[in-house]
């Protein structure tokens, strides 16, 4: 029903993307999202400044796997020459495309002049794209918002200038920076950009399921949709969207046992690439998302927020699922966890 689209040589099929999210879109989440049905995935936003100063951690966060392709590495920064340098590193790391962040509204990013703050310095924003495009052979794209605050109508002319400077696609989060994630995304702004931009436009904002994905595509004419917060603890959303966009019956919602199995799989993948304690600490918020909304989830979350090892999380899951089986007859797969030999970070 809805065709794939191209960003230069990169084919996005199905036309649905996993959004870059700091602290969340690590390699395991990207692999699981691609396997579930995402057409393209993105890394966390990574600092061009950090790369310039030789940050080992930033380099490590650029580690990619074949099973996640196509994959974009997203960068943020303020200096065009450093953005060009970072784009070259991203391409060397194997990125299928380089995405420049002009949408992050987190204060610690904006106060440096990066992220959404670039919308207030349009000439610098254009130079960022031009510098990166001149440094790499892969496509360079941009993710942006609809201005810094309500009534800001300069974002659309800027988006056109970014395309003229070499952006091969533009993702538009249809909220202002001042909104952060509050209020409703204004999809009419996505439609306006589609009319003006001669490159693929990816719509972002309030896509919380297959129905919303279809509506955004139909109402705005965008080439694809991007899903962020709705994918946290819910990689199944990509399979549901993929099936719906292809005119097929979407798979059913996962059972509690399947949610628990995926949560543990995700954690094991991350623990395979990080020190175990650090992996558990960093994944605590995401683990809580997997069982959100289920009876007993509040107590589960409280336990997880104290866990420091994979074994502790496994024990909590087994306890949770035994209780879940009691209130949902037939859900007996309380030990249905993936074999650890299949959960390495590069298993893709």
Give the residue numbers marked as catalytic: 104
Nearest to 127 by CA among 146, 106, 113: 113
Does an H or E element contain 145, and which?
strand 140-145
Q: How far apart are CA 40 and CA 9, in angstroms?
A: 13
Q: How far apart are CA 151 and CA 252, in angstroms?
A: 42
Burial class (CB in 10 A: 0-12, 13-18, 19+), 90: buried
How distant, in Å, are the alpha carbons of 66, 87, 89, 177, 344 from that of 95? Answer: 10, 9, 9, 27, 21
Q: To 10 degrees, the CA torsion angle through 238, 203, 175, 77?
A: 90
3-state secondary structure labels for all residues of 86-107:
HHHHHHHCCCCEEEEEECCCCH
Q: How far apart are CA 141 and CA 12, in angstroms?
A: 14
């Amino acid at each position: 029903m809805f065709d794939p689209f191209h960003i230069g040589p990169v084919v996005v099929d199905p036309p649905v993307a996993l959004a870059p999210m700091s602290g969340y879109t690590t390699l395991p989440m990207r692999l699981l999202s691609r396997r579930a049905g995402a057409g393209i995935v993105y890394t966390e936003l990574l600092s061009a400044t950090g790369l310039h100063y030789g940050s080992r951690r930033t380099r490590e966060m650029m580690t990619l796997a074949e099973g996640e392709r196509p994959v974009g590495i997203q960068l943020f920064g303020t200096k065009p020459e450093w953005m060009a340098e970072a784009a070259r590193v991203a391409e060397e790391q194997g990125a299928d495309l380089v995405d420049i962040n002009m949408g992050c509204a987190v204060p610690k990013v904006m106060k440096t002049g990066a992220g959404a703050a670039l919308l207030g310095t349009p000439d610098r924003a254009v130079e960022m794209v031009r510098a990166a495009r001149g440094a790499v052979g892969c496509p360079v794209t941009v993710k942006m918002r609809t201005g810094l605050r309500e009534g800001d109508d300069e974002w659309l002319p800027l988006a056109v200038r970014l395309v003229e400077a070499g952006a091969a696609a533009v993702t538009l989060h249809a909220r202002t920076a001042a909104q952060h994630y509050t209020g409703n995304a204004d999809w009419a702004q996505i439609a306006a950009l589609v009319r003006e931009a001669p490159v693929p436009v990816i719509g972002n904002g309030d896509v919380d399921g297959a129905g919303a994905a279809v509506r955004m595509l139909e109402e705005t004419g965008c080439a694809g949709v991007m899903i962020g917060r709705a994918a946290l603890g819910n990689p199944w959303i990509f399979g549901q969207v993929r099936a719906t966009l292809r005119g097929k019956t979407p798979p059913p919602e996962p059972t509690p046992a399947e949610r628990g199995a995926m949560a543990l799989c995700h954690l094991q993948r991350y623990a395979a690439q990080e020190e175990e304690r650090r992996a558990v600490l960093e994944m605590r918020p995401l683990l809580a998302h997997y069982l959100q909304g289920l009876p007993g989830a509040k107590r589960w979350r409280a336990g997880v927020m104290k866990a420091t090892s994979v074994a502790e999380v496994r024990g909590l899951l087994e306890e949770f699922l035994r209780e879940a089986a009691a209130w949902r007859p037939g859900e007996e797969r309380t030990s249905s966890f993936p074999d650890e030999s299949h959960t390495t970070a590069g298993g893709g």
